[in-house]
Amino acid sequence: MNFSVFLAFFVTYFCKTYTQHLNDVGASLERIVGGSNVARSSTELNFVAYLSSTGTRGDYAGPICGASIIHRKVVLTAAHCVHDVSHDLFVIAGQKGVFLNHREDYQARRVNKILCHEHFNEGFYLNNDIALLILDEELEMSENVGTIALLPEDDKVVYKTGAVAGWGQDSPHSKHSASLKMATLKYVKREECKNRYSSTVGKSMLCFGDRENNVCSGDSGSALFVQKQRTFYQLGVVCGVDSKCPGNALHPGLFTDVRKYADWIGHKMGANGIRWN
């Protein structure tokens, strides 16, 4: 083998091996707008889940909406995702991709009860857009499946940034991302947000995101979260996205402020015999 042939072989082998290494450790080789792939080996976002139905072959279909695990038997999502559901609904936890892989420690649970806010859509569109889903069986807590803490109702902090993770649309030609992605969004003041939307932005809503960093179709129900001293806290639930996403979004994402519903969540869980822990 002469030197030029050896050099070409070495470069090809090295590039292929290094690229595979980046994929194995979860480095982002393909970025969405303002976000990146979450490593399949990552356990930090173990509270992230998605809603699904069964496919024609009895398997689980792709994500319908996002959700967050707040208790072994309860997930939090947006009411508009589930208020008119007439089919069996399942929660998929511990999964980074939408194609269920036996090598990942995913868990599937049937939704036993849907609890939408009693005043959902009352007064204006997407008002009180929040829902609890009670599962038929508890999730098993593991490295890949965990819970997220909720901020108390008396938390009045104006968070300048928040993170969101989901399987929302990342190109004009896809219904959803093939893998879990996360992005950091900037806070948008209420008055500025109201000026960009022709519809009402309620007092129980938050606005985050811009043209470069935003949520998109399929991210509804996903958690907006912040981190304090290595603990993740849920700040919001995705309830509204710009119809021109991805790529041409002119409006911030709309989020239900979870802090406003801390008492409602506690009351609903207690009424269904679930103790907060």
pLDDT, tens only, 34-76: 456 565 556 689 999 999 987 545 567 778 899 999 999 999 9
Q: Which domains does the chain have, with CATH numbers?
A: 48-147+263-271 (2.40.10.10), 149-259 (2.40.10.10)
Banded model confidence at residue 212, pLDDT cuts 50, 70, 90: confident
What digits encode the pLDDT tens for the residues 71-115? Answer: 999 999 999 999 988 788 999 999 876 555 554 578 999 999 999
Mean pLDDT of 4-25: 36
Helix (H) or strand (E) holding 112: strand 107-116
Helix (H) or strand (E) holding 207: strand 205-208
The pLDDT score that the predictor gives to residue 178 is 64
CA-based nearest residue to 89, from 118, 128, 132, 130: 132
For 165, residues 6+ apart whose C-beta sits below 8 A from its C-beta are 38, 45, 48, 66, 180, 181, 182, 183, 222, 223
What does pLDDT average to over the chain?
A: 79
172: left (phi over 0), alpha (psi -120 to 50) or beta: alpha
pTM metric for this prediction = 0.82
**Cβ-based neighbour number of residue 122 at 10 Å:** 9
Mean pLDDT of 228-251: 81
Banded model confidence at residue 238, pLDDT cuts 50, 70, 90: very high
**Cβ-based neighbour number of residue 174 at 10 Å:** 13
Banded model confidence at residue 122, pLDDT cuts 50, 70, 90: confident
The pLDDT score that the predictor gives to residue 254 is 92
pLDDT at 143 over 60: yes
Mean pLDDT of 11-38: 37
